[in-house]
Amino acid sequence: MQLRRVTPVIAAGILAPALLLATPSFAATAAPAAVTGPAVSSSADEPDADDLRVAIVRILADPDSGRRVTREANALLDANDPEAMRAWLETGYRLAQAEDDRVAITRLLADPDSGRRVIAEVNALLDANDPEAMRAWLETGYRL
């Protein structure tokens, strides 16, 4: 490469940061713009119907999904109502999962191969009636 081509490139590389930092910032001095139009709802945070369907299909693909979760998710996909899907994902899924967890824990209680410790822990969980504790116990506690 010839020297007369390299020199301008080096000079531009050295001067570019100095020139960019030395220029005044116009954004800091600009007055805030007043919004005079109608209020626009932010739908960028809310998932669209396809995203809701994908979330429900992922729940169905989970091997730990119980009967109630599977039944309700299939009904929602058949109905194709985005508002109902959104409401179920926000609250209904947790309720269905809690019922399925309660059924799984009760089955462990009815299993004759369950040991004394498992029976004691299951009875404590059913007495407490805490869905998060039941889910955590099914995921980790039962295996211990």
Mean pLDDT for the stretch of residues 126-134 = 90
Q: Say what the pTM is.
A: 0.59
pLDDT band at 22 (very low <50, low <70, confident <90, very high): low
Domains of the chain, residue spans:
49-141
H-helix or E-strand containing 60? Answer: helix 49-61
Q: How far is CA 89 from CA 12, 54, 55, 129, in A?
A: 55, 11, 8, 22
More confidently predicted of 51 and 9: 51
Residue with tokens 């959104």: 86
Lowest-pLDDT choice from 24-28, 56-60, 80-84, 98-102: 24-28
